[in-house]
Structures are given as structure tokens and as C-alpha cells.
Structure 1
């Protein structure tokens, strides 16, 4: 009898898992990077709390996701086509989900663009805004009304620290993320009225195929439309330091702990994933005039480039020490 009593908590927990319905999760941009890592992690959840619909624009790129999903494929994870730039594609995907019930939406699909604006076409800029900003808007126009009716749902947006602080030669990308942040700040007030949760995940540099492609596109950019000084600045300052910044400050897609935010009882509205990057974004709030971060970044890039380079190497070293979080918080 004592053994039976001892087993009761385990039996109760098992029954709870069977009774509790899985939360339906829709994630965009799952062919690689953060989206793929998150979809697989949630599908492989030991407590089987999630049914994941991992979506991507082009299904010919699903091989990596299928391989990473393993036995979860067709069980706790299904792959669907969804293009955030197409209202019809979004509607078709959402309507294919039982009762159109989405408990958690993770808006992750996005694209990058770097370089002097003189060398970028308006069409390229529109495509970035259409994907990064209007892609989110299209998703919410389709999914938000159902969440409001149920008075239940969590909207998770993969934003960026560049939605808070602009960075050299990331003008258009930063603009798209600033738009996302402003849109969500406004929407969050309304969401509270309907008991909905809204969270912005703000990574710094993340080492993924996304970033590799952005860098490669930057390397191939035709700089003939830019003046000599700007072209030299982009090539010999920005691109030259690009890889070093990612090696020093970059996180892997698996380190963007979005699941913790999703499972939090009271998830934060904003969550920066990389504490190494926090001092840079904090500068913005330290000076109401806005001059401090711009002046600081200017000096780091143009006046103290050797110190900046040395600092990155120092950060890289410290980030590998187990005591780094303690060291950082005491500074």
C-alpha cells in the first residue's frame, strides 16, 4: 500500500498530461535559424504540451527541419506553407488548423539588408518593410480576431535590439524593426483588455544562415553609387568588423530562449536575449536628448576602433568563463 501511495504523484502528473489539451503553436520562418530551433524544441517538449505548426514560405527548404524534427514529424510537429507577404497564403494556412485555434503565435519570418542607402533600391527597401513589418500585420489581421473572441492567446514577436537602437549601415532593417516595436507598443494596450499576452523578443547578433546571407549580400553589393568615403567606410570598417562582432557578441539560435517567455506566468513585454548587448541599448534611455548613444557609437567606430576591437576580444574571452554573468552584473 505504501508503494501505491508513493506512486500517486506520478500517476496524477500522467493523468494531468492526458487531460490538459496541447497548446497550438504557429511559428513562421522555420526553414532555418531561430524558427527552426524553436519549432523543434517545442515539438520535442518532454511534457508534450505543444502541437507545433512550423511554417515557411518555400516548402522546398523543409529538409533541415524534417531532419531536426525526427520522430516528432507528423505527431507534435507539422510543416505548412505560409508566406507572410501573402494574405491568401496566411488565410489558407490558418484555416487548415483545427477550429482555426492558435494559442501561441510566433512571428519570426524576416529578412535583412545592410549597406549604404545610395546603393539600395526602393524596391529592396519595400521588400524588407513588407516582410518584417507588414508580414506581422497580415498575420495579426487574420489571427487576432479569433484570439479576441476567446480572450486567450500569446503573441510572440522575434524583433531585434535594432528595434531599440539603430546601427551603422542597418538603416532600413532598423526602420522595419522600429516599426514593429511601435506597432506592438500600441497593440499591447488593447491586448490587455482582451486578456491577451504580447511579447517582443529582442536578440542581438545571432549566428544563423540569415546573418550569413546578409553578410554575403553585403560583400557582393555594387558600391558605385556611393561616394568613395562612404564605400570605404562600409567595406573597411563595417564589413571588416562584422564577423568579429558576431564571434564576440553572437548567440546561437538555440540560445534565444523563447520557450521560457512562452511558459512564463506573466511574460514580459520586452525581453533582450543577450546581456552582453544590454549596455549598448541602455545608452538610449540614459539621455533624453538621444545624443549619448549616437556620440558613443560614433567614437567607437571612428575614433577608438582599436579599443573597440580589443574590447570585442575581451568580451569574447569573458563570455567563455562560467563566472561571466556574475562579473557582468557587478559592473
Structure 2
């Protein structure tokens, strides 16, 4: 059986864990998954999720996207150093007023979310080019298209990822390679819970009273409700990603959450860029009751039909 080799980063929890388990359990056993994480001692949840696939179609390896030597060692350990599908998933979040964030914190986010991808590609891309075969799948975000209040640095890192991949995609075509950006909206994972918990600990002493009030009483107050209303599960995102991976002609961009699509569409509706900014401003500051009513209505629709977050499974499986 000619299995495709899949290398996934950030598999200790969340989307990465769901991806690794789902792909390794592919009914046709089309993939050999190397699920990586910075600290392999945190692999218990993946071991449990993988079940019988562990040691058969899934192996756990150490890889730190912020360490070039770690990346090289991991790729060197693969048979013939071959990677057919690279899934760049490892990432970190950061929320809050920029006045309250250190430059070092911001650099860490960029180093992980953007330069982590760059390091991976510097190691894997040359062989893909040589073989003229390969698929680069990047777990991006709708925040790589549309900036969101108090996610300034995280959005910047995802904008960087999107611009980098959009530029690289032109060259990739010359080598018969595919690049796909998977763009989830809110996803209910431990990643998001950790970001929220860290946000609660933010020292707001450097922020002015108005900014601090907006962060505490508008942003954090609505954070959980937005995720409960619009949020997908990591398993939903994994299904979408598997679908894109198995397409003969995969798209460059794919948004996984149709409920969030109207918000990102605003950006393309106005070349001046004012429409999405004005719309978000009014949602946040002028139409609080309408905003909450809309969320409750969407929540009702989702409760009545959970199909809102699913895609048709590949019938060929």
C-alpha cells in the first residue's frame, strides 16, 4: 500500500490532536501520520484518541517549531526524509490591549505562528520541489483575513501567514505543489480556554480606563458566548481538513464555519476597507442588544440543526 506520509505539528491537544487521530483512523488507511509536539510527555490524550492506530498508522515524535535543530531531527527520522502532506498547526494566542503586552510576548507569538511555519517549509519544501509532489496545509484563521478587537498581535501573525502562503503559492504551482489555508472561526478547544484564562490575568494597569473597561466588560464578557454560539469543535475542523487533503484539486483557501463567513465577506464587499471596521464598531459599541439577540438567534438555529457545522463526508471513504 502506497501510504502518504503526513507530518502534523502541535498535536498534544485541540485541532492538532483531532487531526492526527482522524487522519490516522482513515478507513482506507491511506496515510502514515507522524504527529508531533514540543513536549512528548504531554501526549497522553493523543495516545488515548489514537487507540489502535498508534504504532500502526500513527507515530508520535518530538518537534518544536521554534527550534530548527528539532525540526531537522524530526524530518531526518522519517523514512527517506519524505513528507507528502505537511500540516502546520502549532500556534499560540494572545489577547488584550497592546499597552499591556510586552514586545517579548508579541515576538513569541510571531515566532511560533509565523516563523514556525517558515522553519518547517525551509526543511520540507526542497524535497517536495525535487519530487514535484506535495501538499502544504496550514491551519490559519479567519483572523488572517479580518482583524478582531483585542486580537491585534494574533491577527498580525495570521495575516503574515496568509501573505506568505499567497506569495509562495505562485511558485508552488511551478513545482506541481498545492498549498491550502484552512481558516476556522471560533473553535472550542483547550487552546481557546487557555487564551481566555490568560486574558483574565492581564495586568490592565498600563491601559487607560476606557480601554480597560472595553476589554473587561465588552470583550471578555462576550467571549464565551461568542464561542458557544459560533464555535466549532476540533473534530469538525479535522473533517474539513481531511476533505481538503483528499481533493484532487484542493482550494487555496477554505473557511470551515459557514456561520462566520458573512463577517469575512464584508472585507471583500468594500475596497476601501471601511465597511467591516464600521460594522464591527457598531456591533460592539452601538448595538449591544441587537448583537446579543443575534447570538441567541444563531444559537437556537444551531441547536435545531447541528448540520450547520458539518460537511458531507467523502463518499469514496
TM superposition score category, shorter chain reference: over 0.9
Q: Distance in 2 between matches of 1:124 and 1:203?
A: 24
Alignment equivalent of 2:260, drawn from 248, 271, 277? 277
Q: For 1:290-309, what aligned pairs fall within 5 Å after superposition?
A: 290-309=273-292
Alignment equivalent of 1:228, drawn from 204, 209, 212? 209
Q: Distance in 1 between matches of 2:269 and 2:161?
A: 23
Alignment equivalent of 1:44, drawn from 18, 25, 28? 25
Answer 1 or 2: higher relative contact order, Cα 8 Å, separation at least 6. 2
The TM-score, its normalising length taken from structure 1, stands at 0.91
Q: Distance in 1 between matches of 2:276 and 2:53?
A: 46
Aligned length: 306
Post-superposition CA distance 1:114-142 (Å, at most 9, x none) = 00000000000000000000000000000
Q: Distance in 2 between matches of 1:57 and 1:323?
A: 34
Post-superposition CA distance 1:50-69 (Å, at most 9, x none) = 00000000111100001111
Larger Rg: 1
- Judge conservation of contact 1:157–1:199 (CA < 8 Å) in 2: yes
Alignment equivalent of 2:35, drawn from 54, 66, 70? 54
The TM-score, its normalising length taken from structure 2, stands at 0.95
Q: Distance in 2 between matches of 1:323 and 1:121?
A: 40
Q: Distance in 2 between matches of 1:284 and 1:37?
A: 30
What is aligned with 2:312?
A: none
Q: Distance in 2 between matches of 1:283 and 1:44?
A: 38
Post-superposition CA distance 1:38-89 (Å, at most 9, x none) = 1001111111100000000011110000111111111110000000000000
Q: Distance in 2 between matches of 1:70 and 1:321?
A: 32
Q: Distance in 2 between matches of 1:324 and 1:42?
A: 21
SS of 1:224's equivalent?
A: helix
SS of 1:320's equivalent?
A: helix
Post-superposition CA distance 1:162-210 (Å, at most 9, x none) = 0000000000000000000000000000000000010000000000000
Matched, 1:111 2:92: yes
Q: Distance in 2 between matches of 1:311 and 1:106?
A: 35
Shift of 1:324: 7.1
SS of 2:179's equivalent?
A: strand
What is aligned with 1:15?
A: none
List gaps (5 residues or longer) in structure 2. 309-317
Shift of 1:321: 2.6
Post-superposition CA distance 1:214-238 (Å, at most 9, x none) = 0000001110010011001000000
Shift of 1:320: 2.4
The RMSD of aligned alpha carbons is 0.9
SS of 1:200's equivalent?
A: strand
Alignment equivalent of 2:293, drawn from 310, 313, 316? 310
Q: Distance in 2 between matches of 1:287 and 1:202?
A: 21
Q: For 1:3-14, what aligned pairs fall within 5 Å after superposition?
A: none
Matched, 1:63 2:50: no
Post-superposition CA distance 1:97-117 (Å, at most 9, x none) = 000010000000000000000
- Judge conservation of contact 1:104–1:155 (CA < 8 Å) in 2: yes
SS of 1:26's equivalent?
A: strand
